[in-house]
């Protein structure tokens, strides 16, 4: 999906979340203070941190939507990943702060039961946060955004924490002591754990952890089912900003032309992107398949060196200067040579010279075979 469209979707979803969180934070904090509920107050502070998180998401997606440039040839997708790390760290910090306040209230001698109206605001919080979760997760799957998915699960954790708040308030209202404060401490623990998981996932992406195994298997299968591909020598994957990047090394028939090998690689790249929309960048490196396992001799002479040897061998053969084209096939530890001659040399009178071309070329130690072709 185009970076511009991804940014538009993310911006819209984030602004909706910011609006809901802003209103909800005001209602929770004010009702928590007025209604004597430590748990609802803690949840309100948590929601207020969500508002800050929404602005982090918005800033990150604005920057990551910038197109690739000379200094950033792979784009700016890492900014989205860095923002996810920051978002996770913010959650951990908020969790520690809320937990500290909750535990302090447990040991307070002045235990005041929450007012009944606080239950209403706890229910409002649950419904609002669950709605944000479903809305944000749906958008994240549509545009394959790790950052939006992170924010969606953040909303889900908020909904779960609000359920605990509701239970704590209700329990203390019916006479179970300290439950409101314990609920605040549990919410704090949940916030910290969620923050750790989100930061860990983003850090894995920063250090180029491979895509999930199921997706890698799908990629491997897509490449292997291509008839022209004889072997998949290596497959490396990584993620950036929720999108996949692939580097693959395939092996094909060593006698294929360069243009045909290029066509195989190009068609594979397009096929992978079509079948797996999460993958936005594919690099296919083509190698010739060795006829003797995977061992490949790398010290064979270059084309220029081989041509010099051939010209030296053919110095006394007149028809050597009429060769139209010389093709070389590097096959493991040997080289095959194809000679293309004008059709008129196919006449009987030139057979001896042509045989001499083949014989002299075959005397070179690394030459496996010499083929003659006549063309009009």
**At 205, is the pLDDT very low, low, confident or very high (cuts 50, 70, 90)?**
confident
* Domain encompassing residue 27: 3-206
pLDDT per position as a tens digit, 336-369:
899 999 988 887 678 888 889 999 999 998 888 8
CA 95, chain centre distance (Å): 29
Q: pTM of the entire structure?
A: 0.57
Residues 141 and 244 in one domain: no
Residues 253 and 365 in one domain: no
Could you tell me if residue 267 is inside a domain?
A: yes
Could you tell me if residue 272 is inside a domain?
A: yes
Asked whether the predicted pLDDT for residue 223 surpasses 60, the reply is: yes
Percentage of residues in the chain having pLDDT higher than 70:
87
CA nearest 105: which of 8, 192, 178?
178
Could you tell me if residue 312 is inside a domain?
A: yes
CA 249, chain centre distance (Å): 18
Could you tell me if residue 297 is inside a domain?
A: no
Least confident of 107-111, 144-148, 151-155, 367-371: 107-111
SS3 264: helix
pLDDT per position as a tens digit, 42-55:
788 778 777 766 77
Alpha carbon distances (Å) from 131 to 13, 56, 83:
12, 21, 23
**At 99, is the pLDDT very low, low, confident or very high (cuts 50, 70, 90)?**
confident
* DSSP code per residue over 198-260: HHHHHHHHHTTPPPPHHHHHHHHHHHHTSTT--EEEEEEEEEETTEEEEEEEEEE-TTS-HHH
pLDDT of residue 297: 57
Asked whether the predicted pLDDT for residue 8 surpasses 60, the reply is: yes
Least confident of 12-16, 49-53, 324-328: 49-53
Helix (H) or strand (E) holding 370: strand 367-375
When the pLDDT of each residue in the chain is averaged and rounded to a whole number, the result is 82
CA dihedral 247, 10, 129, 114 (to 10 degrees): 110
CA nearest 122: which of 185, 165, 175?
165
Residues 178 and 222 in one domain: no
Residues 62 and 89 in one domain: yes
Could you tell me if residue 336 is inside a domain?
A: yes
Residues 201 and 316 in one domain: no
Tell me, what CATH number does 368's domain have? 3.30.70.1350
The last residue of one of the domains, among 180, 206, 232, is: 206
How many domains does the chain divide into?
3
Rounded Cα gap, residues 39 and 41, in angstroms: 5
Residues 44 and 181 in one domain: yes
Rounded Cα gap, residues 111 and 180, in angstroms: 10
Asked whether the predicted pLDDT for residue 7 surpasses 90, the reply is: no
Least confident of 71-80, 134-143, 203-212, 283-292: 71-80
Residues 202 and 222 in one domain: no
């Amino acid at each position: 999906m185009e970076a511009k469209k991804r940014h538009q979707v993310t911006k819209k979803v984030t602004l909706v979340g910011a609006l809901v969180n802003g209103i909800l934070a005001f209602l929770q904090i004010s009702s928590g203070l007025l209604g004597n509920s430590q748990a609802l107050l803690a949840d309100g502070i948590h929601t207020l941190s969500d508002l800050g998180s929404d602005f982090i998401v918005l800033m990150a997606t604005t920057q990551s939507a910038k197109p690739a440039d000379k200094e950033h040839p792979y784009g700016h997708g890492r900014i989205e990943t860095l923002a996810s790390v920051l978002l996770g760290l913010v959650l951990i910090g908020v969790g520690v702060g809320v937990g500290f306040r909750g535990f302090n209230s447990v040991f307070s001698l002045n235990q005041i039961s929450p007012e009944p109206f606080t239950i209403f605001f706890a229910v409002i919080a649950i419904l609002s946060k669950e709605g944000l979760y479903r809305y944000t997760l749906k958008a994240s799957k549509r545009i394959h955004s790790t950052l939006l998915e992170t924010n969606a699960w953040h909303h889900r954790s908020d909904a779960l924490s609000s359920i605990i708040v509701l239970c704590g308030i209700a329990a203390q209202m019916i006479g179970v002591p300290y439950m409101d404060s314990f609920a605040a401490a549990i919410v704090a623990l949940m916030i910290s754990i969620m923050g750790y998981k989100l930061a860990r996932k983003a850090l894995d992406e920063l250090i180029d952890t491979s895509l999930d195994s199921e997706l890698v298997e799908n990629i491997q299968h897509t490449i292997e089912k291509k008839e022209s591909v004889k072997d998949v020598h290596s497959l490396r994957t990584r993620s950036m900003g929720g999108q996949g990047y692939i580097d693959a090394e395939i092996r094909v028939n060593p006698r294929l032309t360069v243009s045909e090998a290029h066509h195989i690689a190009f068609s594979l790249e397009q096929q992978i992107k079509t079948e797996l929309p999460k993958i936005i960048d594919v690099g296919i490196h083509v190698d010739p398949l060795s006829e003797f396992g995977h061992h490949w001799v790398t010290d064979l002479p270059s084309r220029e060196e081989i041509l010099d040897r051939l010209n030296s061998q053919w110095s006394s053969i007149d028809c050597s200067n009429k060769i139209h084209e010389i093709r070389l096939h590097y096959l493991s530890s040997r080289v095959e040579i194809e000679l293309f001659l004008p059709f008129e040399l196919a006449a009987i009178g030139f057979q001896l010279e042509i045989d001499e071309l083949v014989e002299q070329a075959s005397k070179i130690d690394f030459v496996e075979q010499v083929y003659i072709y006549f063309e009009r």
